[in-house]
Amino acid sequence: MTTPTAPFSSEAQTSQKPVLVVDYGAQYAQLIARRVREANVYSEIVPHTFTTEQLLAKNPAAIILSGGPSSVYAEGAPRVGADLFEAGVPVFGICYGFQAMANALGGKVAQTGLREYGATEATTVGEARSILAGVPDSQNTWMSHGDSVHEAPEGFEVLATTAGAPVAAFANEEKHLYGVQWHPEVKHSVHGQQVLENFLFNGAGLKPNWTTGNILDEQVDRIRRQIGDSKVICGLSGGVDSAVAAALVQRAVGDQLTCVFVDHGLLREGEAEQVERDFVAATGVKLYVANEQERFLSALAGVSDPETKRKIIGREFIRAFEEAERAIIAEAASEGESIKFLVQGTLYPDVVESGGGEGAANIKSHHNVGGLPEDLQFELVEPLRALFKDEVRAVGAQLGLPQEIVGRQPFPGPGLGIRIVGDVTKERLDLLRKADAIARAELTAAGLDNDVWQMPVVLLADVRSVGVQGDGRTYGHPIVLRPVSSEDAMTADWSRLPYDLLARISNRITNEVDGVNRVVLDVTSKPPGTIEWE
């Protein structure tokens, strides 16, 4: 049995020295890592439970301490060892990380009674310099804190101040130690990226030489080393992630790879055909289609709890891959040699949401991470596990995959199974498939496919409401439209689709789909809502 690689794998994803982001339970630790990578510097996240020794063992080029919910003076608050600041590695503290650094080095942190949340003006002290070089004397920053640094530690100079934070930024150039009270990683901090890059390129002396191209070469190499000359299967869904993972593995080990598409009956209209047409045409990969509608439907019968559904789907996926493996071996008459490796297009957000981060909450069990069964026989190959969607799209484009594949909107592996609120039946799936096909067709016809990240269409099977159609009373189900815009699915906003498009979708669904008498629009951002309803 093989357990999946830990999310904070000690095995580096690249040969480059990483900028480590130490996660103090921040909401946006992954956003910090993103911004570093956008500056073309490789970055990884590690939990705050890492000791100084463990941090240094990863040979970091620099370290960023993230924000977090604790107060440094509270009992049990996560600490940073003062020895970290003597190791000669450049360090940048953000919010809690800034306060923790001040505290560890003998500065003063206290509650000011003046909380700052949201847009806050920060004023440069003296001349703009160090990590504030090139930013205006008065800049708009985004804050979220109730504690403040009152006195910088010895050897540090104060670079900026705000109404609620006497020390809002500091630096010790000699030791390459820096910090800011605000969140440079969020877009609302207008000069945030500049401040971060000042740290990376001037403070830490790094070069912007990491690109998704590095990922490509290094992953091909790693995959070859991991798989050797064994055979391997890849779960192929028609989505972006598995298409890119499969193309990478194909580049690495060629026809040792067979892709397995599981038709679990929870797919949208036309999906199965699309996989065969687009992906096989673009790559020439070997494809095995597993018809497993029966297996999934009977395993899901009568189940309405979302996490239970997800776990069942995760388990049945693996059972379906095992069946497929047997069939592929039998077909190839390869003397019973079993296939040990399973490629999945797992991304970083799948891992984080499944509670992969130390101290991170389990929001929902993605079928390919938190939903995996205990008795998993395969060794997983997950070349995209450290990446965000847009980075995966860039890798896909470099691999020469067509835009119809890399630009596709995401669709969750558990499919319509987690878009029916209530238990899943064949009839409900057929109904939802119809509604979904209408919504998608209208979105495409309006030319707005690229304006939304994705648009889940959800059936509230456990809810009924009264309607009037053809002069008669109806008692039908609502359909929810959930169009969202997003950068990486970790946060999202509801898309402001044109009213006439929404009206057309609503009209068509209520007219054409039996059993639906109401269409509603979900106007919730993420957080607090997630993108999918289950």
Ligand X SMILES: Nc1ncnc2c1ncn2[C@@H]1O[C@H](COP(=O)(O)OP(=O)(O)OP(=O)(O)O)[C@@H](O)[C@H]1O
The active-site residue out of 48, 183, 366, 367 is 183
411 binds Mg ion (CB under 5 A): yes
Per CB under 6 A, the list member of 103, 130, 144, 172 interacting with ligand GLN is 144
141 binds ligand X (CB under 6 A): no
Binding mask 84-103 for ligand GLN (x = CB under 6 A): -----------xx-------
157 binds ligand XMP (CB under 6 A): no
The active-site residue out of 48, 95, 292, 477 is 95
Ramachandran bin of 447, using left for φ above 0, alpha for ψ from -120 to 50, beta for the remaining angles: left
268 binds ligand GLN (CB under 6 A): no
486 binds ligand X (CB under 6 A): no
Binding mask 187-226 for ligand X (x = CB under 6 A): ----------------------------------------
Q: What residue 532 binds from ligand GLN, ligand XMP, ligand X, none (CB within 5 to 8 A, per partner kind)?
A: ligand XMP
CB-closest chain residue to ligand X? 239
Question: Residue 180 pairs with which residues in a beta bridge?
Answer: 94, 169
Distance CA 216, CA 222 (A): 10
Distance CA 124, CA 182 (A): 13
Restricting to residues 234-253, which ones interact with ligand X according to CB under 6 A? Answer: 235-237, 239-242
| Closest by Cα among 388, 317, 408 to 347 | 388
Distance CA 522, CA 478 (A): 12
Q: What residue 147 binds from ligand GLN, ligand XMP, ligand X, none (CB within 5 to 8 A, per partner kind)?
A: ligand GLN
Give me the least distance between CB of 173 and ligand GLN, in Å please.
24
410 binds ligand XMP (CB under 6 A): yes
Burial class (CB in 10 A: 0-12, 13-18, 19+), 46: buried
Q: What is the CA radius of gyration of the chain?
A: 25
Residues 6+ apart with CB under 8 A from 379: 2, 226, 340, 341, 342
Q: Which helix (H) or strand (E) segment is 319 a member of? A: helix 306-332
Quote the strand ranges of 13-78, DSSP E.
19-23, 43-47, 62-65
The reply, when asked if residue 239 is annotated as ligand binding, is yes
Per CB under 5 A, the list member of 25, 97, 153, 239 interacting with Mg ion is 239
Do 519 and 510 touch, CB atoms closer than 8 A?
A: yes
Q: Is 95 a catalytic residue?
A: yes
Residues found near ligand XMP in the complex (CB under 6 A): 310, 353, 364, 366-368, 410, 412-414, 454, 489, 526, 530-532
Write out the catalytic residue numbers.
95, 183, 185
